[in-house]
Structure 1
Amino acid sequence: MRIGLLTEGGYPYATGESRLWCDRLVRGLAQHEFDLYALSRSARQEALGWMPLPPQVQRVRTAPLWAPEDDAATYGRRERRRFAGHFRELADAICSPDDADAGDRFAAGLYGLAELAGEQGGLHAALRSEVAVRVLEAACRAPGANSAVHAAKVPDYLECVDLLERALRPLSLDWYDERSLGAVDLCHAASGGSAALPGLLGKRFFGVPLLVTEYGVQLRAHYLAAGDAARSAPVRALLASFHGKLAAEVYEKATLVTPGNTHARRWQERCGADRAKLRTVYPGMESDRFAAVGEGADGGDPRTLVWVGRVEPAKDLVSLLHAFAEVRRAEPQARLRVVHSRHAQGAEAAAYLAHCEALAAQLFPDEAADAHAVGDNPVSFEEIGGPEVPDLADAYAAGGVVVLSSVVEGFPVSLVEAMFCGRATVSTDVGAVVEVIGGTGLVVPPRNPRALAEACVALMRDPQRRERLGAAARARALELFTVEQNLAAFRGIYLELISHCPVRREVVGADGEPALFANPAEAHVPVRWASVGTAAPSWADAAEPAHRVGAGSGPGERDV
């Protein structure tokens, strides 16, 4: 089977999201061939290079989202009129309230722009033109438009068309021909949003089934990022509407959607995903590196609390430090080790880390002579790979209780790692935490230092309970969250989709005429199919008439 793996800001690049999961998937399913179609997010990401690729990766096609490859295409009067019509449908849908008619207009505009790009060249200049600005202005001021966009001004229109051009950049790529996405048996998008756009076009033009995996819901990530952006209210409203309608279109056209947890699944259902198309597949994590700690008899220092993760405001280390101050009042010998990544996380993370170190010095003034020491200081900030924590497993081995204090969390990786190590945990009730813990740890409300402190003290004073919860946590993690279970799930899904949604390609003989009986009758399954926990339309419902679009081999193509 030939799989077109679609990524954005991740695999095969050495940095980014989902790169480790994608690499494990490709290496674990060596019986299939993989073509990678990757969108990069920055020049720095491209400069850092790729991960080593296994032999089953046959081809890699890349394209930047951060710098368009302008093909200098200019439209004549007819093409400009055609562009204006398609962009008007898209803009009207974005500015309209959410309903079925708006979704249909959004899809019509989206695919119309894609067909225009395939026939006449890229959309870079057209989407940034005065025509696009005037169309967007008319849509914002039209009767029935959302009230939030009525106040938009010229700078808002200019900013919005610039951001839309970036989001729609995958429509202008040369990936949509019979040698590229038209040649694969299945498109697997590693996320929604821009990564799934090539899959939508592969589905529309060639009938290739689309599988979408979301371990972090792209629309949710956009909403969280938009709150901090220095953009006007009309621009935020327009972008939120665009991404919401794009997510709904992806969920509607996908043959199957695999969320990474129930929390993500609920988001997808609220965004319009059909429950029958959803199937939860937990992300797979390597358990072997934690086996020595998990199988060992040492339960760690019962007086030490361990926090592991990226230092950022969403992790709410401030509440953790205040909670630890109460823990120290109840248990004077208690210690807290904050273990974070050795790699720089950016200026914001560095500033937050400095703030937390200053807060720790303020809360424990008599003991904070060295904010990085591990000796008698009750709070230490340590880097993985440093002298005190040479490996991630060493961080979890150091303490008897692992703490998570986040206010925003998707899938809590650090909790699963702690469970592999057989450690009792105290966590805040955010994201998929309760689903992951499943009764094998204590869960408290977020932003509640007192509740966090009481739970930590309760486990520190009860060694039998710690041991019991740690053993149950390890058993649960080995059952649900290993690489092996993830690979087994996708191995079955691939075979299931290709058997029920085969791509019907026209086979021609040496004379150029269609070959008779090239597609056997059993390749067509004229009934609806279903499996345990999910149902999806027959392949005939999923496949749409094939349309040929522009071909080409751009500079981002590489055969491996």
Structure 2
Amino acid sequence: MRICVILEGCYPYVTGGVSTWMHQYIKAMPEHEFVLWTIGASSRDRGKFKYELPDNVTEVHEIFLQDALNLPPGKKKYRLKQEELQALRDFVHCSRPDWEVLFHMYNDKGMSPMSFLMSKEFLDILTDICEDDYPYTAFSDMFHTLRSMFLPVLYTICQEVPRADLYHAIATGYSGILARLGSYKYHVPFMLTEHGIYTREREEEIIRAQWVPAAFKRFWVRFFYMLSAAVYDRADMITSLFGNARKIQIDIGCAPERCRVIPNGIHYKRFCDIPLKEEDGWTDIGAVVRLAPIKDIKTLIYSFYELKFRLEKVRLHIIGPEDDKQYAQECYELVRQLGVKDVLFPGMVNVLEYMKKLDFTVLTSISEGQPLSVLESFAAGRPCVTTDVGCCRELLNGMEGDELGCAGFCVPPMDREALCSAMERMCLRVEERYRMGQIGKKRVEQFYRHEDMIQNYKQVYSEVMEKWQGSDSV
């Protein structure tokens, strides 16, 4: 089977949990041919892959959203049909546009995105929005804000569509729209896998973002909900990593019968024989994490600073790439300003080897799905302190039917005091730490093995294709 995987802002350009998952996923299915359809920000990244692509990746099609800014003004005037104008009106209002009409206009007919965004029709729609909902907002601000929202989407759906038997988006957003476009173009099924709930993550980012004026935050949130609804409404299968994520998908609008939980899995045997750290009088804490704002490294640094007043012989290893170089520099500067000792930034390392230096791990993310770093830590017998995001609490305490016990401590996000106290307890109670580590190891062995996850996805592919072929023959 020829599977087109659609990815936004991750594999193969950056390292991290989703990228690692995707790389291992493709390698584990040599019987399938994969086409990568990738969405990035800047064309400066074209071809700059951080991974050596597996042999069964036969094509890579790259889209860079900033290229939309270089589109020439739309000179050709189109006479819009009533259903086309209605689809565009619904699109600009961030309601539920007829995506098939938009696909026909911008992919089949090859209309220019700029022809609409510089048209009287667009200005008329914008005027209505300003008069009804934004009477005290400058029209020019609304014009530039909305055009910056809609131009990348229209540009994206203008692209040539690689042919495949099935389209698989690894998020909603732009990648989900492309999956639905591929399904429309070649009359084949498409499915969605969400590691985190894309809409909720974008909503959290917009609420905190300083680049979004307060007046437009609500509109941006509606925009991303519209993109997600386009995928939830039509995807033939929607998978998530844990039960609560599935519940959120259903609450947002997914049909329950099309939602499936497939937990992440790791290569347990690679980690299970890593020996515990030799006793040297120190307690070593590891954070295997990208240096990015969503991972909230600064709260970790502040909490470790407090911990050093309580315990002297403790070290913190922040292990991972500079995903956001500016944020990484801010973290280094924070360590310097606080004067906190024994914080190490080893960068990219062999995690299997480095795990031998660690007693336990910590994850301070603001948002997560089902973090591979926690599963890998468990498989190596290292318990975790995590924030209560995604399914971290479920990983620590077990899902329904798991009676193994507790494999770590869960604290509220951005709570320095709670995080510091949890790390202190893990440092001081050595026997409890060992017992938690063994519980985590058993949990991964029983419930989170990579081979089981791959088998589940193979089953889903077969199921989706069989249902589609059955309905297509009716």
Against the structure 1 CA distance between its residues 268 and 301, is the aligned structure 2 distance closer, same or farther, given a 3 Å change threshold?
Answer: farther
- Structure 2 counterpart of 1:246, from 216, 223, 227: 227
SS at match of 1:257: strand
1: distance between equivalents of 2:321 and 2:179?
36
What is aligned with 2:402?
A: none
TM-score, normalised via structure 2 length = 0.86
Separation in structure 1 between the aligned mates of residue 268 and residue 189 of structure 2, nearest angstrom: 32
Pair 1:169-2:155 in alignment: yes
Q: Contact (CA 8 Å) 1:322, 1:449: kept in 2 or not?
A: yes
When Rg is computed on C-alpha atoms for both structures, the one with the higher figure is 1
Q: Who is 2:110 aligned against?
A: 121
What code does the residue aligned with 1:403 have?
V
Residue 46 of structure 2: SS of its match in structure 1?
Answer: helix
Alignment-mate amino acid for residue 334 of structure 1: K
Find 1:256's aligned residue among 237, 244, 248: 237
Contact 1:324 1:453 in 2 (8 A): yes
Structure 1 spans left out of the alignment, 5+ residues: 95-101, 365-376, 503-523, 525-538, 545-560
- How far the C-alpha of 1:482 sits from its partner, in A, is 3.4
Does the aligned pair in 2 maintain the 1:401–1:425 contact within 8 Å? yes
Q: 2:344 aligns with which of 381, 385, 388?
A: 381
Partner amino acid for 1:412? P
Quote how far apart the aligned CAs of 1:40 are.
2.7
Q: Which whole-Å CA distance do the structure 2 matches of 1:271 and 1:456 have between them? A: 36
Alignment partner of 2:290 out of 286, 292, 310: 310
Matching residue within 434, 450, 458 for 1:491: 458
More off after superposition, 249-258 vs 230-239:
230-239
- What residue number does 2:79 align with? 78
**Alpha carbons 2:291, 2:323 under 8 Å: kept:** no
State the SS of the aligned residue for 2:67.
Answer: coil
C-alpha deviation, 1:472, in angstroms: 1.1
**Partner of residue 39, structure 2:** 39
Structure with higher helix content:
2
Q: 1:142 to 1:316 in 2, by over 3 A?
A: closer
Deviation of 1:273 (Å): 1.7
Pair 1:433 & 2:392 matched? yes
Shift of 1:36: 2.6
1:393 corresponds to 2:352: yes
What does residue 400 of structure 2 align with?
A: none
Cα shift at 1:50: 6.9
Conserved 8 A contact 2:304-2:316: no
The CA distance in 1 between the partners of 2:127 and 2:17, in whole Å, is: 38
Normalised by the length of structure 1, the TM-score is 0.74
- Distance in 2 between the 1:454 and 1:50 partners? 37
Amino acid at match of 2:315: L
Alignment of 1:8-407 (within 5 A): 8-13=8-13, 18-49=18-49, 51-68=51-68, 70=71, 74-79=75-80, 84-92=85-93, 94=94, 102-103=95-96, 106=97, 108=98, 110-131=99-120, 133-141=122-130, 147=133, 151=137, 153-175=139-161, 180-181=162-163, 184-226=164-206, 227-293=208-274, 296=275, 298=277, 303-308=282-287, 309-324=289-304, 327-328=307-308, 330-331=310-311, 333-343=312-322, 345-359=324-338, 361=339, 377=341, 379-384=342-347, 391-407=350-366
Amino acid at match of 1:353: Y
Percent identity between the aligned chains? Answer: 21
Instruction: State the AA in 2 paired with 1:457.
Output: E
Number of residue-to-residue matches in the alignment: 463
Alpha-carbon deviation of 1:414?
Answer: 2.8
Q: Shift of residue 419 of structure 1?
A: 0.9
Shift, 1:248, TM fit: 1.4
CA contact (8 A) 2:320 2:347 kept: yes
Q: C-alpha deviations, 1:76-110, integer Å up to 9, x for none? A: 35259875443223224x2xxxxxxx43xx2x2x3
RMSD, aligned α-carbons: 3.1
- The 1:474–1:135 alpha-carbon spacing in structure 2 relative to 1, beyond 3 Å, is farther
Asked if 1 retains the 8 angstrom alpha-carbon contact of 2:39 and 2:64, the reply is yes
How far residue 266 of structure 1 moved from its aligned partner, in angstroms, is 3.9
Which amino acid counterpart does residue 168 of structure 1 have in structure 2? L
Unpaired stretches in structure 2, ≥5 consecutive residues:
398-405
Equivalent residue of 2:359, what SS?
Answer: strand
Partners of 2:193 and 2:429 in 1: CA distance: 41
Q: Is the 8 A contact 1:384 1:391 kept in 2?
A: no
Cα distance per residue 1:258-307 (max 9 Å; x no partner): 112345334323321222221122233344543442xx254665741413
Whether contact under 8 Å (1:91, 1:139) holds in the other structure is no
Asked if the contact 1:122–1:173 (Cα under 8 Å) also holds between the matched residues in 2, the reply is no
Q: Answer with 342-351 or 436-445: which moved more.
A: 342-351
Aligned partner letter, 2:88: F
Give, in whole Å, the separation in 2 of the partners of 1:17 and 1:420: 16
Which structure exhibits the higher relative contact order, with contacts defined as CA atoms closer than 8 Å and separated by 6 or more residues?
1
Query: Residues 137 and 328 of structure 1: is their aligned pair in 2 closer, same or farther, counting only changes over 3 Å?
Result: closer
- Deviation, 1:188, is 0.9
Tell me the amino acid that sits aligned with residue 91 of structure 2: L
* Distance in structure 2 (CA, Å) of the matches to 1:161 and 1:80: 22
- Contact 1:200/1:250 (8 A) holds in 2: yes
Deviation at 1:194, TM superposition (A): 0.7
Task: Show the 5 A alignment for 1:527-538.
Answer: none
2:372 is the alignment partner of 1:409 = no
What displacement does 1:315 show?
A: 4.0
SS of 1:431's equivalent? Answer: coil
Alignment of 1:403-482 (within 5 A): 403-438=362-397, 439-482=406-449
Any idea what the Cα deviations from partners look like across 1:340-373, whole Å, max 9, x if unmatched? Answer: 32546321331133113322x1xx5xxxxxxxxx
Change (3 A) 1:411 1:16: closer
Amino acid in structure 2 at the alignment position of 1:140: I
In 2 relative to 1, CA 84–498 (structure 1 residues): closer, same or farther, beyond 3 Å?
A: closer
Aligned pair in 2 of structure 1 residues 13, 26: CA closer, same or farther (>3 Å)? same
